[in-house]
Amino acid sequence: MEVVRCSRCGAFYTNGGYVCPKCSDRDNFELATFKSFVEENGVNVNSLNQVSISTGISEKNLNRFLGYEGLEGYKKLFK
């Protein structure tokens, strides 16, 4: 079993996934918020700082989301 450290809260967990079970609801929620923000604002979105201010999601977490599977296309928006 692989033990990884949650990048949100620092807890160790073994069930896979991007964050620990305790954080996964919040992580999914913020990921969905991020996605809909980009969908609604499209090309006008070009800095993570701007997204962070508008959505309340920290830049650190936004940066992590860009590494998630399925968000490859988003990376191009934020250089």
User: Toward Zn ion, which CB reaches closer, 17 or 49?
Assistant: 17
Q: For helices 48-55 and 21-41, give the axis angle rounded to 10 degrees.
A: 110
Do 65 and 31 form a contact (C-beta atoms < 8 A)?
A: yes
> Who contacts 24 (Cβ-Cβ below 8 Å, separation ≥6)?
17, 18
Sole window of 12-20, 33-41, 44-52, 58-66 interacting with Zn ion (rule: CB under 5 A): 12-20
For Zn ion, how many residues bind (rule: CB under 5 A)? Answer: 6
Per-residue interface string for the shown chain with Zn ion, residues 20-39, x marking contact by CB under 5 A = x--x----------------
Q: Contact between 64 and Zn ion (CB under 5 A)?
A: no
